[in-house]
Each structure stands twice: as C-alpha cells, then as structure tokens.
Amino acid sequence: MLSSITRFLRDEEGATAIEYGIIAGLMAVVLVAAFSADSGIGLALTTLFTNIAAALPSTI
C-alpha cells in the first residue's frame, strides 16, 4: 500500500497537461490585450481599415 501511494505522489505524467493549459490561458490573455481596440495592434488595425474604407468609393 505504501509503495502505491509513493508511486502516485511521484507520478508527473498529468503535470504536462496542466502546464499546457496554463500556457494556453496566458497566451489568450496576452492576445486579448494585444488585439484590443483601445491600444496596440487593435488600434492600428482599426485605423488602417478606417482609412481603407474612407479611400474606397461609395457604391450607394
């Protein structure tokens, strides 16, 4: 019984999935912050598409 508990406590196989989950969560937070419309890349993309829309002729 003691050997089973020791083997369970030393098992690190499930740690990889948890680490990948933490990395994915952190990447999601960084991407949301980078692409937000208030600053960063999101603001640059909004400005770019606004300028492109203003340069296109109106079809209406």
User: Residue 58 gets which letter from DSSP?
Assistant: P
- Look at residue 25 and tell me whether its pLDDT is greater than 90: yes
Instruction: Say what the pLDDT of residue 24 is.
Output: 94
Residue 27's Cα: distance from chain center in Å?
Answer: 3
Predicted confidence band of residue 14 (pLDDT cuts 50, 70, 90): low
pLDDT over 70 for what percent of the chain?
A: 90
Residues in the chain: 60
Q: At residue 14, what is the residue type?
A: G
- Enter the pTM of the model: 0.50
Residue-wise pLDDT tens digits, 28-56: 998 888 877 777 788 888 899 999 999 98
What was the pLDDT predicted at 17? 76
Per-state percent for the chain, helix, strand, coil, to nearest 5? 75, 0, 25
Q: What is the DSSP letter of 39?
A: S
